[in-house]
């Protein structure tokens, strides 16, 4: 007989650092983490963060197994999800979930705010659990590297939630580029419609609120703050607008770059940049700037030439911050979000966040173009792109082959690491030279604090 989230929460909130150590201990690998699963083996999932995007994420996971545990710092969200998954154990602290349910779960879906992605995911992987983690994979550059290393060490199957990866259209676009459809690509432009109506940051908010309302009874504020420095509760952070704050979110880059640059990364086989520079609006210590233009310089990869990727976000002087109009055909209005790859033979324009549709320019030149024979695997089955993305992860788990999931942490951690370097360049207000081998900025010493921010005691990785 299940109990209410409220009664469970009083028992499951950890009290202090000593209690949290157990949740972060390095556990042996799960019983079947390396071997794969038989077609009739039931997979037991846990969900960390079951409101917002986590609501649909855990629903999709339930199509492929049993939901054994759910966790959310907001008991209203937790209770609502518990109405659907009545047999799932309910927690408000993922550390307690892992310490008590470690031998009862096979895989974890992590859909909490950005700043707690890595603590939850790395704890799970150290226990030998397979992990699906929402984008951006992490809150910091260093965490992205740790996610990649731990996933490889533990041999678990992973997937980041940039679901456009599952779309056959994106894979078709990557095949066109990789077979020379537009020639050598050395310049790329990517833009987003964030933040605008999606959340508030600078110039609307440039400082913390001064009023201090009481914490709602259903919100466990200490657990929301997690590894970030403690601050008073305010509804401006939870449940939604945390994304625009340095301490909790990753701004427009974190929200959308793992989607909108995904086609570019996959098509061009990008790895990590060696130089990142940024122009941006006025900075403040609390929220992301009103606009930014970030340039990433990627070195040559084998016989592929170096690439400059230009990222545009926000609004400048009351106008959308977009790539120069001369890059597009005359009188052409680009989509709200999209990408443009400029090759030596032609151009590829994608008008979508996910890169799932493409147009080759000049149109007349490509009117008789035939797609190459597919060579990137497509996903069979699934109920739409987002669900199929989870299915591919589950397929990898059942086969015991992490490489089946095409946004596994080996790939997606490099995408995340690369993009988050843009936020580092913004914060130091200087061009940074990055060493991919060591994960260090070599020319700006103050960048280190943003590459690996300090974590609060009890939450350190």
Quick one: DSSP state of residue 235?
T
**Is residue 194 domain-shared with residue 67, that is, in the same domain?**
no
3-state secondary structure of 22: helix
**Is residue 172 domain-shared with residue 161, that is, in the same domain?**
no
pLDDT, residue 37, reads 74
The model's pLDDT over 248-272, given as tens digits with 9 standing for 90+, comes to: 999 999 999 999 999 999 999 999 9
Q: What are phi and psi for residue 361, nearest 5 degrees?
A: -115, 150
pLDDT, residue 344, reads 98
**Is residue 184 domain-shared with residue 306, that is, in the same domain?**
yes
**Is residue 395 domain-shared with residue 408, that is, in the same domain?**
yes
Whether the per-residue pLDDT at 8 is higher than 90: the answer is no
Quick one: what percent of the chain has pLDDT higher than 70? 92
**Is residue 281 domain-shared with residue 404, that is, in the same domain?**
no
**Is residue 428 domain-shared with residue 343, that is, in the same domain?**
yes
> How far is the C-alpha of 128 from the C-alpha of 454, rounded, in Å?
26
The model's pLDDT over 279-311, given as tens digits with 9 standing for 90+, comes to: 999 999 999 999 999 999 999 999 999 999 999
Residue 51 lies in a domain: yes
**Is residue 309 domain-shared with residue 183, that is, in the same domain?**
yes
Q: Domain count of the chain?
A: 2
> How far is the C-alpha of 408 from the C-alpha of 131, rounded, in Å?
9
Banded pLDDT at 414 (limits 50, 70, 90)? very high
Banded pLDDT at 10 (limits 50, 70, 90)? very low
Kindly tell me the burial class for residue 157, based on how many C-beta atoms sit within 10 Å of its own C-beta (0-12, 13-18, 19 or more). buried
Banded pLDDT at 9 (limits 50, 70, 90)? very low
Residue 207 lies in a domain: no
pLDDT, residue 41, reads 80
Contact between 259 and 389 (Cβ < 8 Å): no
User: In Å, what is the CA distance from 369 to each residue of 67, 208, 328, 363?
Assistant: 47, 54, 21, 10
CATH code, domain carrying 352: 3.30.360.10
Give the residue from 414, 417, 243, 415 showing the smallest Cα distance to 313: 243
pLDDT, residue 292, reads 98
The model's pLDDT over 162-206, given as tens digits with 9 standing for 90+, comes to: 999 999 999 999 999 999 999 999 999 999 999 988 999 999 999
pLDDT, residue 2, reads 34
**Is residue 258 domain-shared with residue 171, that is, in the same domain?**
yes
Q: What is the sign, positive or negative, of the torsion defined by CA atoms of 403, 404, 409, 413?
A: positive
CATH code, domain carrying 88: 3.40.50.720
pLDDT, residue 18, reads 30
> How far is the C-alpha of 191 from the C-alpha of 356, rounded, in Å?
15
Mean pLDDT, rounded, for 133-137: 98
pLDDT, residue 348, reads 98
pLDDT, residue 310, reads 98
Q: What is the pTM of this model?
A: 0.92
Residue 219 lies in a domain: no
Residue 214 lies in a domain: no
Whether the per-residue pLDDT at 26 is higher than 90: the answer is no
Give the residue from 130, 147, 154 showing the smallest Cα distance to 37: 130
pLDDT, residue 422, reads 98
**Is residue 144 domain-shared with residue 192, that is, in the same domain?**
no
Domain of residue 406: give its range.
5-165+386-414
* Cβ neighbours of residue 210 closer than 8 Å, sequence gap 6 or more: none
**Is residue 431 domain-shared with residue 352, that is, in the same domain?**
yes
Whether the per-residue pLDDT at 62 is higher than 70: the answer is yes
- For the chain, what is the mean pLDDT? 92
> How far is the C-alpha of 234 from the C-alpha of 216, rounded, in Å?
10
User: In Å, what is the CA distance from 68 to each residue of 11, 26, 33, 44, 60?
Assistant: 18, 21, 17, 6, 14
Whether the per-residue pLDDT at 17 is higher than 80: the answer is no
**Is residue 334 domain-shared with residue 192, that is, in the same domain?**
yes
**Is residue 192 domain-shared with residue 101, that is, in the same domain?**
no
Name the region of 60 (left: φ>0; alpha: ψ -120 to 50; beta: rest): alpha
pLDDT, residue 234, reads 98
Contact between 436 and 274 (Cβ < 8 Å): yes
Residue 396 lies in a domain: yes
Residue 24 lies in a domain: yes
Residue 224 lies in a domain: no
Contact between 271 and 414 (Cβ < 8 Å): yes
pLDDT, residue 36, reads 62
Give the helix/strand (H/E) hosting 298: strand 291-298
Mean pLDDT, rounded, for 135-156: 98
Whether the per-residue pLDDT at 373 is higher than 50: the answer is yes
Contact between 227 and 121 (Cβ < 8 Å): no
Q: Exposure pattern of 329-356 as b/e (b: 16+ CB <10 Å)?
A: eeeeebeebbbbbbbeebbbbbbbbbbb
pLDDT, residue 196, reads 87
Residue 327 lies in a domain: yes
pLDDT, residue 378, reads 97
């Amino acid at each position: 007989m299940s109990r209410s989230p409220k009664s469970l929460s009083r028992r499951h909130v950890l009290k202090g650092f000593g209690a949290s150590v157990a949740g972060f201990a390095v556990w042996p690998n799960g019983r079947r983490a390396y071997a794969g699963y038989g077609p009739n083996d039931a997979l037991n999932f846990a969900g960390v963060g079951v409101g917002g995007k986590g609501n649909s994420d855990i629903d999709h996971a339930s199509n492929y197994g049993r939901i054994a545990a759910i966790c959310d710092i907001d008991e209203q969200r937790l209770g609502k999800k518990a109405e659907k998954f009545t047999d799932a154990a309910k927690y408000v602290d993922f550390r307690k979930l892992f310490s008590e349910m470690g031998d009862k779960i096979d895989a974890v879906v992590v859909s909490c705010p950005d700043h707690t992605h890595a603590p939850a995911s790395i704890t799970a992987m150290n226990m030998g659990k397979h992990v699906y983690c929402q984008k951006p994979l992490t809150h910091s550059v260093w965490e992205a590297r740790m996610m990649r290393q731990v996933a490889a060490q533990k041999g678990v199957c992973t997937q980041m939630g940039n679901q456009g990866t599952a779309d056959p259209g994106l894979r078709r676009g990557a095949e066109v580029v990789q077979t020379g459809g537009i020639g050598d690509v050395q310049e790329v432009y990517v833009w987003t419609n964030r933040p605008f109506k999606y959340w508030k940051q600078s110039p609307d908010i440039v400082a913390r609120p001064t009023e201090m309302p009481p914490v709602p009874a259903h919100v466990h504020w200490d657990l929301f703050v997690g590894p970030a420095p403690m601050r008073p509760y305010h509804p401006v952070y939870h449940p939604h607008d945390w994304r625009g704050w340095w301490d909790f979110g990753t701004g427009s880059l974190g929200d959308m770059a793992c989607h909108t640059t995904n086609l570019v990364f996959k098509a061009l086989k990008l790895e990590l940049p060696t130089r990142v520079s940024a122009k941006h609006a006025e900075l403040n210590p609390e929220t992301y700037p009103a606009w930014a233009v970030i340039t990433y310089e990627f070195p040559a990869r084998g016989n592929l030439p170096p690439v400059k990727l230009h990222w545009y976000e926000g609004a400048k002087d009351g106008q959308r911050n977009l790539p120069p109009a001369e890059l597009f055909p005359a009188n052409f209005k680009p989509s709200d979000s999209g990408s443009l790859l400029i090759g030596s033979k032609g151009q590829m324009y994608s008008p979508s966040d996910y890169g799932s549709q493409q147009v080759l320019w000049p149109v007349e030149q490509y009117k008789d173009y035939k797609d190459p024979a597919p060579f990137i695997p497509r996903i069979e089955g699934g109920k739409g792109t987002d669900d199929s993305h989870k299915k591919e992860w589950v397929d990898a788990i059942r086969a015991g082959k992490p490489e089946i999931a095409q946004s596994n942490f080996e790939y997606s951690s490099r995408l995340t690491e690369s993009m988050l370097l843009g936020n580092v360049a913004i914060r130091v207000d200087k061009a940074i030279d990055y060493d991919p081998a060591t994960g260090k900025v070599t020319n700006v010493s103050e960048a280190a604090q943003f590459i690996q921010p300090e974590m609060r005691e009890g939450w350190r990785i």
